């Protein structure tokens, strides 16, 4: 048996980049995958369709759904469709996020940019977790993986809204882990130490050398490991993934001393 045979995973922001890599890795591990994305028309629709085909070729079932995680109605529809299609949700990967193209000090930051960043990156995590928890509570098992960023602890000038949103994601992770430990639901955060080598990042930082960038597949491998965890084995932690070539990670969590660069196998 593959490690996630018989389980169903919902991945948001799955049409490209980190989300796509995680969705494929979960399918390769045996999970049925619900891949959700906001831009699921035009190129986005084609990306979701090709993702479905790739996961099915791995021997897992897959369905792609359009939805905006910042909208309560969209999230409820996605979760309802996932439960109708597969009967359960064992894994939630909250990956959908925006990295605004602005670079401005707080005094000059458009309010609309602040609102969109917090709505997608933080409200979206809240809405998705809230929507899947009733089914996870009922089956007394589940794993929630919230994709964070190094910006949660080391935000750069001009990117305050993004850093605030990811810091909020980690605080939500640690608090929720404590709330649902009694029903055997693990809640953890996953973050690249630096930029991740995706098309959007390459377009945003075209002059930066990419030899030390984190690869999406490196994040996906850790996401699969986290998907297998329970409240008894590993919960309430943030795992920071460095550039390719190492299998050691920085792990920290609520109420724990930091554990610099430990192995996760």
Active-site residues, by number, are 162
How far is C-alpha 35 from the chain's CA centre? Answer: 12
């Amino acid at each position: 048996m593959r490690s996630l045979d018989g389980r169903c995973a919902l991945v948001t922001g799955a049409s490209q980049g980190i989300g796509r890599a995680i969705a494929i890795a979960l399918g390769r591990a045996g999970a049925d995958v619900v891949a959700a994305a906001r831009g699921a028309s035009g190129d986005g629709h084609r990306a979701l369709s090709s993702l479905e085909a790739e996961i099915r070729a791995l021997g897992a079932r897959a369905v792609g759904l359009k939805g905006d995680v910042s909208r309560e109605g969209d999230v409820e529809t996605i979760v309802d469709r996932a439960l109708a299609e597969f009967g359960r949700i064992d894994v939630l990967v909250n990956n959908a996020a925006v990295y605004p193209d602005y670079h401005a000090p707080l005094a000059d930051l458009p309010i609309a940019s602040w609102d969109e960043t917090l709505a997608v990156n933080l409200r979206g995590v809240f809405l998705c977790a809230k929507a899947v928890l009733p089914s996870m509570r009922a089956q007394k098992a589940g794993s929630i993986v919230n994709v964070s960023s190094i910006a949660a602890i080391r935000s750069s000038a001009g990117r305050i809204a993004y850093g605030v949103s990811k810091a909020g994601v980690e605080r939500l992770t640690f608090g929720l882990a404590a709330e649902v430990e009694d029903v055997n639901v693990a809640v953890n955060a996953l973050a690249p130490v630096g930029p991740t080598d995706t098309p959007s990042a390459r377009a945003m930082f075209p002059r930066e050398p990419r030899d030390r960038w984190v690869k999406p597949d490196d994040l996906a491998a850790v996401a699969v490991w986290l998907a297998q965890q329970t409240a008894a084995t590993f919960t309430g932690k943030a795992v920071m993934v460095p550039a390719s070539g190492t299998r050691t990670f920085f792990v920290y969590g609520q109420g724990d001393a930091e554990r610099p660069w430990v192995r996760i196998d």
